[in-house]
């Protein structure tokens, strides 16, 4: 694990050791973490190190969206306010009854590449939620937490105008094809979110997966997803079949996905959303 200092007061683990990236903002009187990753010992170590180094306490954990690789470390922040969008909380409650039921969790830990990363895992839900937007102010530092949808309907980003950083969760997969096949994924909301990110005065973008980036990488993904959506819309209007549309869209050049099946499932989901309009 490498704790990377992005800029004064902003830190992240974005080397993949926690699966989903984990970020931390040091404010004048407190520390705020964003997403809790999927490696309990490493996230605990990150929190302890930062608190020791700064002499400040962690008070908030902000959750960008519902996926396990971003929330399984929540128990490390049990004593903090844990905040997500209402939609994310609803999905977490649903998952607790299905794929995160206690017997499923036991099985998941057993089958994990390194079971020690998830030993003792319990699902910890948000303690507070918001519909579309909330703000945290500490001295002269402001944190804006806003829901856009895209990767999931509850997907929300954290924007700090003071530190000129934006933490996007899985609306950004840098240098990788994104996972866009979640049930509530929406390519049009995703495009709108990326345009919003680019409109802000930001120096550093912290993705859900991949390295910390600048505007060029966001633009690269926006160009790709816009091309894919435009082509799908055009072919849908021409009455082409789903198979023809996926095949043609698949030819647009972009980074390969981490898991081979991700690309087709993502394109199918995007097609389904666009075709249902």
Least separation in angstroms between residue 142's CB and Zn ion is 26
Q: Is 213 helix (H, G, I), strand (E, B) or coil?
A: strand
Residue 155 and residue 92: Cα distance in Å, rounded? 13
Report if residue 91 touches Zn ion, rule: CB under 5 A.
no
Distance between CA atoms of 65 and 186, rounded to whole angstroms?
A: 14
Give me the least distance between CB of 65 and Zn ion, in Å please: 6
With tokens 């703000």, the residue in question is: 135
Element containing residue 42 per DSSP (H, E): helix 40-54
**Interface stretch with Zn ion, choices 64-72, 80-88, 108-116, 188-196 (CB under 5 A):** 64-72
Query: Contact region for Zn ion (CB under 5 A) — 67-75, 116-124, 252-260, 269-277?
Result: 67-75
Q: Which is nearer to Zn ion, 145 or 163 (CB)?
A: 145
Closer to Zn ion by Cβ: residue 9 or 176: 176
Among residues 25, 35, 36, 67, which is the contact residue for Zn ion, using CB under 5 A? 67
Residue 36 tokens, joined: 């809790």
- Let me know: does 49 contact 12? Beta carbons within 8 Å: no
35 contributes a contact to Zn ion by CB under 5 A: no
Examine residue 19 and tell whether it contacts Zn ion (CB under 5 A): no
Measured from the CB atom, the residue of 154 and 245 that comes closer to Zn ion is 154
Nearer to Zn ion among residue 64 and residue 117 (C-beta): 64
- Distance, in Å, from the CA atom of 197 to the CA atom of 157, rounded to the nearest integer, reads 9
| Cα 192 from chain centre | 16
Least distance in Å: CB of 152 to Zn ion? 7
Please tell me the count of residues contacting Zn ion according to CB under 5 A.
2
The answer to whether 229 touches 190, Cβ cutoff 8 Å, is no
Report the C-alpha gap between 198 and 41 in whole angstroms: 35
Distance in Å, CB of 84 to Zn ion, minimum: 13
The reply to whether 153 sits near Zn ion by the rule CB under 5 A is: no
Helix (H, G, I), strand (E, B) or coil at 162: coil
List the x/- string, 164-203, binding to Zn ion by CB under 5 A: ------x---------------------------------
CB atoms within 10 A of CB 128: 12
Interface with Zn ion (CB under 5 A): 67, 170
């Amino acid at each position: 694990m490498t704790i990377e200092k992005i800029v004064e007061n902003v830190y992240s683990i974005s080397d993949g050791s926690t699966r989903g990236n984990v970020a931390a903002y040091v404010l004048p009187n407190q520390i705020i973490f964003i997403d809790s990753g999927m490696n309990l010992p490493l996230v605990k170590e990150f929190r302890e190190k930062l608190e020791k180094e700064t002499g400040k306490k962690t008070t908030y954990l902000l959750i960008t969206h519902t996926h396990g690789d971003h929330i399984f470390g929540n128990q490390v922040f049990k004593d903090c306010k844990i905040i997500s969008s209402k939609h994310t909380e609803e999905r977490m409650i649903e998952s607790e009854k299905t794929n995160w039921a206690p017997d499923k969790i036991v099985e998941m830990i057993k089958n994990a590449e390194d079971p020690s990363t998830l030993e003792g895992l319990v699902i910890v839900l948000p303690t507070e939620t918001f519909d579309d937007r909330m703000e945290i102010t500490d001295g002269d530092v402001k944190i804006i937490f806003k829901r856009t949808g895209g990767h999931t309907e509850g997907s929300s980003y954290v924007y700090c105008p003071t530190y000129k950083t934006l933490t996007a969760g899985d609306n950004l997969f840098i240098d990788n094809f994104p996972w866009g096949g979640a049930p509530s994924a929406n390519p049009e909301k995703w495009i709108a979110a990326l345009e919003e990110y680019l409109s802000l005065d930001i120096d550093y973008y912290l993705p859900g997966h991949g390295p910390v980036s600048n505007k060029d990488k966001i633009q690269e993904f926006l160009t790709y997803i816009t091309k894919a959506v435009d082509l799908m819309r055009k072919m849908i209007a021409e009455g082409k079949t789903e198979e023809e549309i996926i095949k043609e869209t698949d030819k647009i050049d972009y980074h390969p996905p981490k898991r081979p099946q991700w690309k087709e499932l993502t394109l199918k989901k995007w097609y389904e959303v666009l075709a249902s309009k």
